[in-house]
Amino acid sequence: MSRMTQTVPRTGRAAVRRILRWVAITACVPYLSLKVAWIAGSTVGIPEGSALLSDGTSLKLINAATVLMDVSVVVLALVLTKPWGRHVPSWLLALPMWGAVGLLTPIMVGFPAQLLVGALGGTGSGSSGDNGAFLEGWVFDLVYGGFILQGLALGALFVLYACERWGHMWQGRLGDVGARPVGRGQRLAALVAAGLAVLPMAVHLLWACGVHTGLSNTLAAQYDADSAVQDAAYVLYTGATVAGLVLLLARRAGAALALRVPLLLAGVGSAATGCWGGWLLLAAVTGPSHGDRAATPLMLLTYAVQMFVGLLVLTAGARFLNGRAGARRTS
């Protein structure tokens, strides 16, 4: 009887994993199909006058890179559900998962929020095919809908996998960390990251509130409700990062708090902050925008600082968790 009661939940978890795996893989199909079509020269979904048509070479390179990024979602879904995935080195899995969380979380939060704002009367330019918009509206709906499914499925798979393989690393209360204090280098990295995060948080907050400091006249004129939602979300991610770091540094103040709470805040917040900072910086440097449509120095600085904050927190977090794993092995 006991063997049956153990087998049923295990079988159920296996079925859930298979379903989530196919959801994640299937959700990649729309994005990959469009990207492959654009690389082959198709302009499906790209309206006339779009800035994406002005630089074919750089666009193909970016499309090729994003195809590889979405293919990595398929690979991650397999790693998280196949028996051989349990033997993949921790860093080799954690790093791309951090990137996937960082790139998908803002879409999962921002796109529904933009739809809600639009339903309430807000105006956005990104979903229209007029006035030189980048893409047709249906492209955003199709692709971002797929991204949301990818994020939900991949996130659920990772939670199941991580709890079974690494769950012991974030067990206990925040006050328990005091017995194994944060190293000096980790503390310094966390303090620097928390201090630097103030810049992108302040800049995005100003833009979200309608203060267009650091934007060119053209970019300021194009700023709409969708842009405000995005910037407000960036404030949320950087704020979550700082909150998680502060809780980890000032452990006594929240000693009764579960350790996983600040780790989750700092982990997801830094991933969204750093990955999108890097992506926006790359797009600004290599994208087709020129003249008054190009990124300003303040925009470039903001994105660069976001990326640096994310990498700092990633490095410090990896050392922190590795230290807890080592302490567990020696105890």
pLDDT in tens, 196-231: 999 999 999 999 999 999 998 989 998 999 999 999
Report the pLDDT averaged over residues 117-138: 66
Q: If pLDDT is split at 50, 70 and 90, which confidence band does 263 have? A: very high
Q: Say if CB 67 and CB 35 are below 8 A apart.
A: yes
Q: If pLDDT is split at 50, 70 and 90, which confidence band does 88 have? A: very high
What is the structure's pLDDT at 1?
Answer: 43
Mark 117-155 as b/e (b = at least 16 C-beta within 10 Å): beeeebebbbbebeeebbbbbebbebbbebbbbbbbbbb
> Is 80 exceeded by the pLDDT of residue 232?
yes
Instruction: Give the chain's radius of gyration (CA, Å).
Output: 21
- Residue 296 DSSP code: P
> Is 80 exceeded by the pLDDT of residue 55?
no
pLDDT > 90 fraction of the chain, expressed in percent and rounded = 59
Q: Which two tokens stand for residue 209?
A: 């509130």
The one-letter code for the residue type at 220 is A
What is the pTM for the complete model shown? 0.88
Q: Say if CB 112 and CB 140 are below 8 A apart.
A: no
> Is 90 exceeded by the pLDDT of residue 299?
yes
d(CA 18, CA 15): 5
Burial zone of 42 (CB within 10 Å; 0-12 exposed, 13-18 middle, 19+ buried): exposed
